[in-house]
Structure 1
C-alpha cells in the first residue's frame, strides 16, 4: 500500500477530531494548576484569569472554526494561515515556532511524569535529575517508533487514552466540591497582601502564560484538517473540545482553594493535584491522581508529537522547509519530520539538567513560543474579514467573525505583554537559529534567500536572540 493509499483511508470523524483537541489540551498543565495558581493569586484573581483566558481562547477557537470553513484549501492551519496572510518568512516563523513550542511542551510531560514517580523512586527527584532525563529520553524514542507505525493507529490510541485520563480529573472535581470548606475558601479569596485592583491585575498577569499552556491544542483539529471526513467537523471539534476543557480547568483551580490555605497550595510538590486530593482523602488520592497523570500525559505527548511532525511535513510540501522533511514511510508517516521532532525533545530534556525549576521553565517557554503563531492566525482572520475575502459568496456572519478575530488579536497581543521580555528573548534564541531551515529551502529552489522586508525581520530576530544570550551569560535571565 502506498502513502497515498494510506492517506485516503485515514479520514477521522468528528468524535476522533474532538478527542484530538481534548487530548492535546488535557495533559500536564491541568495537574499543576493548584500550585501554579496559588503561587500567583487567590480565588478572585483565578476567576478573573479564567474569564479572560476563557474568553480570549474562545475567540481563537472561533477564529480557527471560521478559517476552517472559509479557507478549506489551507491545511495545518496555524502555519498555513500565517503564510497566506503575511508571506513566506512569517509563515515559516509560525511553522517553526509552533513546532518548537510543541517540542518544548512535550518535555514538560516527561518532567512531570518523573516528578510523580520521584515520590517512589528518589533518583528521579522532581523530574530533572540525570536518571530522570535518561529514562525520559528512552521514552521519547519508544513513542517515536510506535508513531512510525501509522497516524491513524496513533490517533485511535489517543481517543482511548482521552477517555481514560478524564476519569481521575472528574473524580477530583467531584470530591473537592463535596469536601469544600467555606472558611478556607473565604480566606483564599485574595492573593498576596495587597487587596486592591492594581494588585489583582498583577496577579492575573502572572497567570496568563499558565492559562496559555493548558489551552495549547485548541487548534488541534485545524492542524489535522487534511484527515477530516467533513471539513465542517474541524470547526465543531475545536469549539466542543475547548468548552469541555475550560469547564474542567476552571473547576480544578477554584475548588482547590476550598481544601487548603493558599500558602500550603503554593508549597505542594508537582503535580499539585496529588497533594490537594491527598489532603482530603488520604494517600490513596495521591496514587490515584498519579496514575491518571501518567495516562493523561502520555496521551497528550502522543497527540503533540503527531501535530509537531505534521506541521514540519506540510511546510516542506509547501516548499517552506527543506525537501528532506517531505519523506514518508509506507505507513504515510512523515519520518524525517518525526526524527527532527524527537531529536529536539531529547535536546531540551538535556537542558533541564541546568534549570532551577525545569517544569515551570519549560511550561513558560512553551507558551511563549506559541504566541507568534497564534497572533498571526488571529490577524489573518481579521485581515480576510476586513477585506471581505470569501464573503462575496458567503456573506453571512461577517460582522461577528470580524469581531471575534479582532478580540483574538487583542488577547494574543496582551499575552505577549504578559509573557514579559525575559521569555520573549528566550523564544528568539530558538527562533533565530531555526532560520537556517528557511535558508536551506530557498537555496534548494534557487531563490533569493530574503526580500528586504524579510531581511529586516531576520535581523530583528537575531538582535533579540543576542540580547537573550547576553542576558543568560550575565545572569539577568535565568532558566
Structure 2
C-alpha cells in the first residue's frame, strides 16, 4: 500500500464519528417542538420504539453485509447493483446522492436562518446576502475536501465532539430539572386518553424519525477507506445506538420541563427554548451556537458522502467515467465538482422558493428511503438464497429475520410518506437517468434490459404526473 493511500485510511473512531456526524444535525435540536406539536410522551415512546427497532435492524443489515460481501466496498450503492442489476443500482446511487445534495442545501439555509436571528440581513436563510454567503461556505468546504478525505474526516470528528457535548449538557440539566407531575400531564398528549388518538400521534411522528436517522450508512459508504473491514459494522451499530439514546433522552426529558402546548410553540431550534426555560437566556444562546456547529459538521458529512457515492458508482462504471477521476490526495474530484455544482444550483433555486428548507428536509427522507429499502431487500435476498453463507449455520436464519424486519420497516415508511413524495422523487430520478445513459454509451452497451425499460418508463410517467400535479396545484410544496 502506498504511503499516501495509507495516510487516507480511517480508524474505527473516525468511522464512528462519520456515522454520528452524519445523523446528528439540525433534527435533534428541533425535536422538542416537533414532537410537542404531534404527540405526548407515550406516543413519543412508541414512535422511538418502532423507529429504533426498524433502524437497528437496518444497521445490523449493513453490519452483516460488510462481513458477507467484503468485496463490495461502495456500500449502499454496491449492494443494490449486485442484488438487482445496473439500473436499480444506479437509481440507488442517484437517489442517495440527490438526497445528500438536498440535505446540504437544508444545512446551508438553516445556518443562515439561525444567523438571521442575530443579524437580520440573513433573514430566513434565502435572502441575497444569505445565498451569497452560503455559496462562499460551499466552495470553501470544497477546497478543504480537495486537500484530502483524511483532513476533512478529522475536522468532521472534531465537530462531532463539539456538538455532542452541548447535547449531553442539555440532557444532564433536563434530567435534574425534570418535573414528574408535568411529565405525567404530557404523557397521553390529550385530555382524554384514547388508543386511536395515540396511534394517530405515532403516525404523525414517523417521517420525522426517519430524517434524524439518515446518515446511518456513513461507515458503509466509506468502507474503502476503513483500516479494518470489521470496523465498518461496529462503527454503524455503535454510532446508531449512541444517536438513538441522545434522540430519546432529548425528546422525553423535554416533556418534563414545559407543558406540551408551550413545547409546540417554541421556534427552531426548540431545544434552545427548553434550555432557556431551565437556566435563562444564556442557555438559549448556548444551544443556538451548538446548533451552528452541529449543522456545519453535518454539512461536511453530507458533502463527503455525496461525492463518495458518485465516485463509487463511476468506478463500477455505472456512472460516467469523469466522475471516477481522483486528484493526488485520492479525493474524488470529478464527483465533488458535480455535487457542489448541483448544490449551488439548488441554492439559487431556493432564493425563489417560499418553503425551501422544509421541502429539502422532507425530500431528503424520501430520496434516501428507497436506497435503504434496496439494501434491506438485498440482505433478505442473500439470506433467502444462502449466497455467502456456510451450510447449516443459524446465522442465515437470524440474518433473514432481521433483513425482513428492515425491509418491512423501510417499505412502511415509504407508504407512510404517501404518493406525494414518490412523485416528487420521480421528478428528480427521471432527468438523473441521463448519467446512466452516458455511462452506457461510454461502454457501448445496451441501454436497458427489458425489466429496466419498464422501470424507467414507470419513473418517467410518475415524473410527468408529478410535474402536472405541481402545475395544477394538486401537489403543494
| TM-score normalised by structure 1 residue count | 0.96
Using the TM superposition, give the Cα deviation of residue 352 of structure 1 relative to its aligned residue in structure 2, in angstroms. 2.9
> 2:385 — aligned with what?
387
Structure 1 residue 80 displacement after superposition: 0.3
Residue in structure 2 matched with residue 116 of structure 1 by the alignment? 114
1:91 maps to which residue? 89
Aligned residue in 2 for 1:170:
168
Q: How many Å separate the matches in 2 of 1:9 and 1:392?
A: 35
Could you list the per-position Cα deviations for residues 433-478 of structure 1 after superposition, in whole angstroms to 9, with x for gaps in the alignment? 1000001100111111111111110011111111111121122222
> CA separation of 1:84/1:156 partners in 2, compared to 1, >3 Å: closer, same or farther?
same
Deviation at 1:161, TM superposition (A): 1.5
Alignment check: 8 A CA contact 1:103 1:345 kept = yes
Instruction: Measure the CA separation in 1 of the matches of 2:214 and 2:73.
Output: 18
Say whether residues 1:184 and 2:169 are aligned partners.
no
Residue 156 of structure 1 is matched in structure 2 by 154
Aligned to 1:244: 242
Instruction: Confirm or deny that 1:228 pairs with 2:222.
Output: no
Change over 3 Å in CA distance of 1:399–1:21 after alignment to 2: same
Distance change (3 Å), C-alpha of 1:43 and 1:354: farther
Q: In the alignment, does 2:74 pair up with 1:73?
A: no
- Unmatched segments (≥5 aa) in structure 1: none
Contact (CA 8 Å) 1:4, 1:332: kept in 2 or not? no
Query: What is the match of residue 201 of structure 1?
Result: 199
Given candidates 453, 456, 460, the residue that maps to 2:454 is 456
1:309 aligned onto 2:307: yes
SS in 2 for 1:46: helix
Q: Is the deviation greater in 190-199 or in 361-370?
A: 190-199
Q: Which residue, out of 32, 40, 43, partners 1:42?
A: 40
Q: Does residue 107 of structure 1 match 2:116?
A: no
State the match for 2:439 in structure 1: 441
Kept in 1: contact 2:8–2:148 (CA 8 A): no
Shift of 1:340: 1.2
The answer to which of 108-117 and 222-231 deviates more is: 108-117
Q: SS at 1:332's partner residue? A: coil
In the TM superposition, residue 269 of structure 1 has moved relative to its aligned partner by 1.5
Equivalences for residues 416-435 of structure 1 within 5 A? 416-435=414-433
Q: Which residue of 2 aligns with 1:465?
A: 463
C-alpha distance in structure 1 between counterparts of 2:330 and 2:392, whole Å: 35
- 1:251: how far off? 0.7
Cα distance in 1 for residues equivalent to 2:31 and 2:195: 23
Shift of 1:43: 1.1
Partner SS state of residue 415, structure 1 = helix
- How far apart are 1:393 and its partner, in Å? 6.6
Which one is further off, 185-194 or 463-472?
A: 185-194
Q: CA RMSD in A?
A: 1.7
Q: Is the 8 A contact 1:206 1:418 kept in 2?
A: no
Q: Distance in 1 between the 2:314 and 2:407 partners? A: 27
Separation in 1, partners of 2:349, 2:418: 21
Separation in structure 2 between the aligned mates of residue 478 and residue 264 of structure 1, nearest angstrom: 28
The aligned residue for residue 406 of structure 2 is 408
Gaps of 5+ in 2: none
Deviations 1:168-222 (A, max 9, x none): 0001111111112233322322336774332322222221221111111111111
Separation in 1, partners of 2:72, 2:166:
37
